């Protein structure tokens, strides 16, 4: 069970804060509900049963888990699915898992494709842009709360951390060669 004030990922709503555990007004019986406030959907309130198994709900990553995840980004492998419909279905399914690693795989695949297309003077397909945006919003929202930084700074933070990790690896590799 989640605690009041805890941050959770709640399905496609992204990061939410548990504001209360209660029985909503007008609901009969003793069934308890989480009262959730989505962090990035201001003015929105969600009631969901505590025992709900239909919508994925999990704790957000800790700061340490977030740092470990970011450090793994360069080594996460992706594969491009050539068939547009199959790719879209696969990415939508990956995003719906509410798994940070799956979001990163979608983002990396789309960014790699975007770079390739840019080199050819083309743009990423609109449906792929939407998938990239969705996965990025979910990942950046979670990391912003976990790392206690503004969501607008997450991408820059990731890039700087990856740069530091790559420098550390290069330094340790050169020490091993000496």
pTM of the entire predicted model: 0.87
pLDDT at 101: 96
Return the number of other C-beta atoms located less than 10 Å from residue 67's C-beta: 16
Question: Could you give the 3-state DSSP secondary structure of residue 132?
Answer: helix
pLDDT in tens, 17-32: 999 999 998 888 889 9
pLDDT at 162: 87
Mean pLDDT of the region 128-150: 97
Return the number of other C-beta atoms located less than 10 Å from residue 145's C-beta: 22
pLDDT-above-90 percentage for the chain: 83
- List helix spans (H) across 42-82: 63-72
In whole angstroms, what is the distance from residue 53 CA to residue 150 CA?
A: 31
Residue 141 reports pLDDT greater than 50: yes
Question: Could you give the 3-state DSSP secondary structure of residue 42?
Answer: coil
Q: Can you say how many angstroms the Cα of residue 87 is from the centroid of all Cα atoms in its chain?
A: 19
pLDDT in tens, 97-118: 999 999 999 999 999 999 999 9
pLDDT in tens, 166-178: 555 444 444 455 4
pLDDT at 26: 86
């Amino acid at each position: 069970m989640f605690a009041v004030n805890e941050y959770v990922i709640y399905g496609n709503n992204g990061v939410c804060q548990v504001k209360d555990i209660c029985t909503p007004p007008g609901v009969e019986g003793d069934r308890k509900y989480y009262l959730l406030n989505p962090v990035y959907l201001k003015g929105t309130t969600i009631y969901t049963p505590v025992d709900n198994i239909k919508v994925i709900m999990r704790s957000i990553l800790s700061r340490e888990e977030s740092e470990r995840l970011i450090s793994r980004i360069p080594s996460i492998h992706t594969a491009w699915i050539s068939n547009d419909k199959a790719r879209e279905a696969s990415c939508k399914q990956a995003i719906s898992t509410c798994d940070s690693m799956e979001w990163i795989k979608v983002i990396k695949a789309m960014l790699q494709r975007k770079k390739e297309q840019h080199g050819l003077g083309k743009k990423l397909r609109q449906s792929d842009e939407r998938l990239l945006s969705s996965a990025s919003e979910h990942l950046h929202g979670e990391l912003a709360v976990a790392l206690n930084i503004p969501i607008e700074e997450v991408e820059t933070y990731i890039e700087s951390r990856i740069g530091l990790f790559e420098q550390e690896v290069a330094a340790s590799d050169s020490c091993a060669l000496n």
